[in-house]
Amino acid sequence: MESLKKPVGIRDNEDKELLAWSPPRKEHGRADFTTQDPWRILRIQGELVEGFDALSSLPKAIAIFGSARLGPENPYYEACRESSRRLAEAGYAIITGGGPGLMAAGNQGAFEVGGTSVGCSIELPEEPVANKYQTIALRFRYFFVRKLMFVKYAVGFLIFPGGYGTLDELFEALTLVQTDKIEHFPIILFGTAYWQPLLDWLKGPVLKAGCIGEEDLKLFSVTDDPQTVVDLVKQTAGD
């Protein structure tokens, strides 16, 4: 299987620099071109081309998200690893954020049974090293390019307990499905006890305020069983 790695050690503030306001350029005394937006556009283009090239031949894939902070000692780690293993055995590639914790568990399950295990890691101080369970390894500067790879190449999202990053991926997927910007692929929350307060909030004040409709609550499923994950994926994403 293909292995594709990017060099480590380059600047880790690319997103911040891209999204920060900068003063208008003057006729003279311009800053170095490599720090300006036209150059960043070329970098972004390069990341897009590299990602598309590496992932264009993937079989149907499931993106797995979850906390980088929950390691092998946490029960969700083994549940994630087992879910990934079963999905890989069912013929699906696995895509994760490529980092530690539950991302490593997702890659590990697929890797151990000879499946396609993709890691799309990001340059962050908290995640300096990508996990070792990857058959295709990509490393991105820009969050939005990385997130595009998940959406473009996955036919389903499996969301384990996590923090802001995991919630960001969850609600982006729900928004894209709700607005019909992507196919209505399965979005599965794993861990009833963890997600129940969020579900209660959505079904309570959010629904009662009219900010979502009853049909929006049908855009995701919740389970505690790895085999149910596979069954739900097969029902909606196909073999």
Domains and CATH numbers, the chain: 34-237 (3.40.50.450)
Banded model confidence at residue 237, pLDDT cuts 50, 70, 90:
confident
pTM here is: 0.84
Examine the pLDDT at 228 and tell me if it is beyond 70: yes
The per-residue pLDDT of the chain, averaged, comes to: 88
Give me the pLDDT at residue 37, please.
74
Give me the pLDDT at residue 8, please.
41
DSSP bridge pairs for 65: 159
Selected residue with higher pLDDT from 14 and 117: 117
* Residues 119-156 pLDDT 10s: 999 887 666 678 999 999 999 989 999 999 999 999 99
Give me the pLDDT at residue 129, please.
77
Examine the pLDDT at 6 and tell me if it is beyond 70: no
Banded model confidence at residue 10, pLDDT cuts 50, 70, 90:
very low
Banded model confidence at residue 5, pLDDT cuts 50, 70, 90:
very low
Examine the pLDDT at 1 and tell me if it is beyond 60: no
Q: What is the 3-state secondary structure (H, E, C) of 162-220?
A: CCHHHHHHHHHHHHHHHCCCCCCCCEEEECHHHHHHHHHHHHHHHHHCCCCCHHHHHCC
